[in-house]
Amino acid sequence: MYSVYLIDDEELILDELIDTVPWPDNGFYVAGSSTDPRVALKEIEELKPDVVFCDLKMPEMDGNDLIRRLKENGCKAEYVMVSAYDDFENVRTFFQQAGFDYILKPVNNDEMQMVLEKLIGKLSKNKPESKAGLNNTDNQGFNKMLDYINDNFGEKITLDKLAERFGYSKNYICGLFSKHLNTSLTCYLTDIRMARAKELISEGKMLIKEVGATCGYKEYYHFFRVFKAYYGISPKDMQDSATH
């Protein structure tokens, strides 16, 4: 699972992010959090999280200043700004610092889900080897679950759905993915979907939006963002390179 650090000067918002966002369902865990950017600076340097979710307007040090100092100190996390402000200069400064994404408050659950899946796509590129499609573990019940996912990856598959279908708890399913494949359901599913999307695009027999829908992404924009984060190239550019 990938580690997350959260910073917001409003404790209620911080608690809401910790408690309501389905972090484990998407392959993340909250490694730390703080309402004080000065404390966050020290803790992030020690914890070295994979992703930092940061508020923009904070006393003593705003989000862009915090990110700049973290980068200067060698922190290689992905940065997501969560802010009630969409001022052009602030947004431009954030992305000039190679920020990953920008979410406006109040946080929309669907928007947060898209960002998490996009993050999985980006972070998955750094994994040594994808295990998507394997179903030869020593747990036969888990193998059946993997078979089901491999055969139905184009549908909406969630921990709730798998728990109901196979009679396991959500925590137990997360444990199976971690123990046997060293990954999470979302990471595993993303690997399968992206591999199949690449195959279909290379074949050149379907429109890109049809490829996305076939692979479980009903909205083209969602598919585009995850694909580009995963492969570092847009679906259209990959299609063009495959036809030349």
Q: List, in order of start, the domains of the chain with CATH numbers.
A: 2-107 (3.40.50.2300), 126-244 (1.10.10.60)
Q: Which amino acid type is present at position 189?
A: L
pLDDT in tens, 87-96: 767 777 777 7
Is the pLDDT at 131 greater than 60? The verdict is no
pLDDT exceeds cutoff 50 at 106:
yes
How many Å apart are CA 36 and CA 24, to the nearest integer? Answer: 25
What is the gyration radius of the CA atoms in the chain, in angstroms?
19
Residue that wins the pLDDT comparison between 141 and 244: 141
Q: Specify the DSSP class assigned to residue 133.
A: T
Average pLDDT, the chain: 87
- pLDDT tens figures, 213-227: 999 998 888 899 899
C-alpha distance from residue 225 to each of 61, 236, 241 (Å) = 30, 12, 19
Q: How far is CA 128 from CA 55, 139, 146, in A?
A: 32, 23, 21
Instruction: Please tell me the pTM assigned to this model.
Output: 0.68
| Contact criterion met (CB below 8 Å) for 150 and 192 | yes
Nearest alpha carbon to residue 213 among 227, 229, 233: 227
Beta strands (DSSP E) in the chain are 2-7, 28-34, 51-55, 78-83, 101-104
Of 146, 127, 138, 144, the closest CA to residue 189 belongs to: 146
Residue matched to tokens 């036809």: 243
Query: Region 221-240: what's the mean pLDDT?
Result: 90
Lowest-pLDDT range of 33-47, 62-76, 125-139 = 125-139
Q: What pLDDT is stored for residue 129 in this prediction?
A: 46
Answer yes or no: are the C-beta atoms of 195 and 222 closer than 8 Å: no
d(CA 226, CA 114): 8
Say what the pLDDT of residue 97 is: 73
Q: What is the pLDDT of residue 126?
A: 62
DSSP code per residue over 3-59: EEEEE-S-HHHHHHHHHHS-TGGGTEEEEEEES-HHHHHHHHHHH--SEEEEESS-S
Res. 183: pLDDT tops 90: no
**What distance lies between CA 234 and its chain's CA centroid?**
17
Neighbour-count burial of 164, counting CB atoms closer than 10 A to its CB (0-12 exposed, 13-18 middle, 19+ buried): exposed
- Please state which of the ranges 107-121, 122-136, 219-233 shows the lowest mean pLDDT: 122-136
pLDDT score, position 133: 52
Q: Is 201 helix (H, G, I), strand (E, B) or coil?
A: helix
